[in-house]
């Protein structure tokens, strides 16, 4: 059974908060470096790398928008930001997590066709197709998250076991 975050000793609070803060910083810096590498190196600007940029952008947004809230949650032992930010955080976190997962699926499909079906790869994975599929993943999961939060009536509550809302 998970203990409440308020019941942790100081060493646990400091170590858990520091580890998540480090993960957040490394995620932000690492993914910014990926984007910078693609920006600086023209050979990396091929359409199949658009999926990598999409994945890096979702991870950057996760590091900037939701991870700082989780760091504060761990540091304080509770959700100090109110219900509205809880809903927004839940929508953003869920959307970005799904965007990351399905972008990796698109990357896997792309690599499968590149290796196993190279003739079909050239006709299927054109720049326009890659941009459309990557964009659709973003639109679908942001829309779904908003609908789930407000129309279906999902309830946003703090989750002590995962330090998120």
Output the pTM of the full model.
0.86
The first and second tokens of residue 1, run together, are 């059974």
Residue 165, Cα to own-chain centre: how many angstroms?
Answer: 15
- Characterize 10-35 residue by residue with b for buried, 16 or more Cβ atoms within 10 angstroms of its Cβ, and e for exposed: eeebeebbeebbeebeebbeebeebe
Q: Walk along the chain (165 residues) and give the pLDDT tens digit of each residue.
A: 345 766 778 888 899 999 999 999 999 999 999 999 999 999 999 999 999 999 999 999 999 999 999 999 989 888 888 888 888 888 899 999 999 999 999 999 999 999 999 999 999 999 999 999 999 999 999 999 888 877 766 666 666 666 667
């Amino acid at each position: 059974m998970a203990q409440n975050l308020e019941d942790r000793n100081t060493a646990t609070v400091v170590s858990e908060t520091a580890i998540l803060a480090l993960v957040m910083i490394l995620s932000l810096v690492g993914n910014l470096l990926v984007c910078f590498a693609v920006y600086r190196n023209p050979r990396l600007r091929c359409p199949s790398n658009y999926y990598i940029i999409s994945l890096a952008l979702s991870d950057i947004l996760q590091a900037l928008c939701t991870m700082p809230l989780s760091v504060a949650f761990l540091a304080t032992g509770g959700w100090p930001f109110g219900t509205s930010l809880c809903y927004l955080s839940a929508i953003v976190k869920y959307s970005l997590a799904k965007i990351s997962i399905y972008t990796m699926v698109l990357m896997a499909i792309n690599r499968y066709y590149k290796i196993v079906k190279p003739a079909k790869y050239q006709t299927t994975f054109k720049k326009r197709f890659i941009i459309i599929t990557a964009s659709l993943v973003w639109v679908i999961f942001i829309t779904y998250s908003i609908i789930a939060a407000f129309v279906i009536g999902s309830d946003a509550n703090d989750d002590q076991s995962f330090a998120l809302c």
